[in-house]
Chains A and B, each alone.
Chain A
């Protein structure tokens, strides 16, 4: 007989879950596993609200297994470590991102690319190795295999650092893989939301010239004065788009709705690379002539492995890169989700779990 969520494991846990495709979240009692030899038990302090949380809460991708406790931008403190744990000790501040397990044996895992392992276990809405469901960071505690826990650098604030665990690595990893780190080169960032604003900051930290490409003229002042972008292109401004043709070495495309690729491809120089990191499931139109005539490519990327995620956190700490956040209480979450659906946030909500999660 299947055990109920609050009984399947020995440690009581409390969070907020969505129970159906309305996506509305409400208090939820469940349980966490015993801290195994390789595990770290974490009291959750903050959790970022990623747009994926909204997609999954509403079953927009069709694979949500209700009830779901979202949240994969988790910052907390270590409460307990297993006997084989070497990297962490009680009291330390740590992070957990998008994945909490992988096979550890395949070629991808051996290359520190756990994010491409065919048996990746996601922080929420997946099944763990013991067959039970994984529940995410909109909750008071989590138990995670040491390999999937990240050390949080001392000078990185929890609130501004939490979103880096998904948004940060989502843009950092392709920038490294596709070679977008040569100082002086020109990076375009399409879309200025959770992912986009972090891409601008990381791009500047790499010494790149950064142009934001957006459909909203209102974001220009913000992009240039506060985020440090060098220039701003409004996609409907034909004169400026024309003047920018063939000027960019690479583009990180964070737009997560169907949008035309041809204008973006035209902004690239010869051998230019357009990397799409926004998750959406409707098809895009890919014009082939620009790819062939300019030897350009369109690539994808999905978060990053654990080693690279740690590298990204350390890089951000070193360069003072944090996400711009609006800290909220847990009971504001449904309003936050509504606002997120309308892109009404600069640029990530972060739930102050420890202060606001009360039973």
Chain B
């Protein structure tokens, strides 16, 4: 069979697009010309205004998970304004403020998809770095335009500032979903949040809005004031302070653990009350140590969670709108993105960078 000539990213689709891509595992991003598909009958095309920088973007551009296919245009916390809708689109119109998160496709027929759990569909298509139905690679939101099937587009309520809402599309749903699934969303419960970064600060905000008592558990004592005065946490524990940790033993109904580095679970399991739940949303690549006895003796669990389905993502955004919750961000222009990535790798951001895509210079 004669080989087909692979189309270059610029030519494979009819609509010109400009973004920033990483081309190798240095993770260094630079201007990248590519293209988007024409608006299909179920598609929504929108001009990208803002895109949050998720830590996953950093893992991906540096190929830390070993799954990256270069060039990669990251970005899955994408917010913009609709410029075109397909003929069969019913939920959106031109001018609407919309968002797209981590997913842009799924099989739509398996049991998980039918249960609004597209995030667990074995054939889910990620917003970047995945293969779309037409065989082309998906490119994410560090770019000027985005096209997505209506099913995967989220409506942004009018009262939410677009730059601050962008990180909710990944960080927000990543902590909201397990709060609901593991029953840690009831007023009066005591929740621990481990790690105060992009995910952690969102967990504090959501949990406070749900009426929980929140204790932040962190390695950094200098985050205490911020956590309590600004984010509204009720208490703060320094994880290396054995006295503080001891005094909190058996006090928490649940813990959302956002730390994605290898770390000790035993002290966290000790903080849980009987029947307590430790939920991991950061995913260390190496296994963690687990002692069975503390789980048995307190009937405790360790569980995981991965983003959320589209229906729940919309529910989360609506909940955020009702409670005026957005992410704390540092707004940057696209040409700052490499510096931002360096700072992110040192956790030097309160608490999410968001790229002001629309106002960034387009020059290469």
Chain A: residues with CB nearer than 8 A to chain B?
Answer: 108, 113, 116, 177, 261-262, 270, 276-281, 283-302
Contact = CB atoms under 8 A, between A and B. Distances in A.
Contact of B295 (A289, A296, A299): A299
Interface string B112-125: 10000100100000
A288 B280 contact: yes
Contacts, number: 106
Contacts of B274: 108, 113, 116
A36 B116 CA distance: 59
Interface stretch (B100-108, B134-142, B283-291, B318-326): B283-291
A300 B289 contact: no
Nearest to B269: A300
Contacts of B285: 289
B181 A298 contact: no
Interface in B71-111: none
B296 interface: yes
A300 B283 contact: no
B205 interface: no
Interface residues of B, number: 33
Contacts of A299: 295, 299-302
A140 to B, nearest CB: 31
Contact of B305 (A289, A292, A302): A292
30 contacts: A113-B274, A116-B298, A116-B299, A270-B117, A270-B120, A276-B295, A278-B292, A281-B292, A283-B290, A286-B265, A286-B287, A286-B288, A286-B290, A286-B302, A288-B284, A288-B287, A291-B302, A291-B303, A291-B304, A292-B280, A292-B283, A292-B306, A293-B306, A295-B306, A297-B277, A299-B295, A299-B299, A300-B292, A300-B297, A301-B296
A298 B287 contact: no
Contact of B289 (A280, A285, A292, A296): A285
A285 B291 CA distance: 9
A301 B300 CA distance: 7
Given A289-B283, A298-B301, 19 more contacts: A276-B295, A284-B291, A286-B289, A286-B290, A287-B287, A289-B285, A290-B304, A291-B304, A292-B305, A293-B304, A295-B120, A295-B304, A295-B305, A298-B295, A299-B301, A299-B302, A300-B293, A300-B298, A301-B296
Contacts of A283: 289-291
B301 A300 contact: yes
B31 interface: no
Chain B facing A: main interface SS: mixed
A12 B225 CA distance: 64
B294 interface: yes
Tell which of A283, A287, A295 has the most Cβ of chain B within 10 Å.
A295
Contacts of B298: 116, 300
B184 interface: no
A298 B296 CA distance: 10
Interface in B243-273: 265
Tell which of B295, B296, B303 has the most Cβ of chain A within 10 Å.
B296
A273 B265 CA distance: 19
A298 B299 contact: no
Contact of A177 (B120, B295, B299): B299
Nearest to A286: B290
Contacts of B301: 297-300
A294 B117 CA distance: 11
Contacts of A288: 280, 283-284, 287-288, 304
Contacts of B294: 300
Q: Closest 4 CB pairs between A and B? A: A300-B295, A291-B304, A297-B303, A292-B304
Nearest to A258: B292
Contacts of B168: none
A300 B292 CA distance: 7
B193 to A, nearest CB: 17
B306 A279 contact: no
Contact of B290 (A113, A279, A298): A298
B281 interface: yes
A69 to B, nearest CB: 23
Nearest to A292: B304
A297 B292 contact: no
Contacts of A284: 289-292
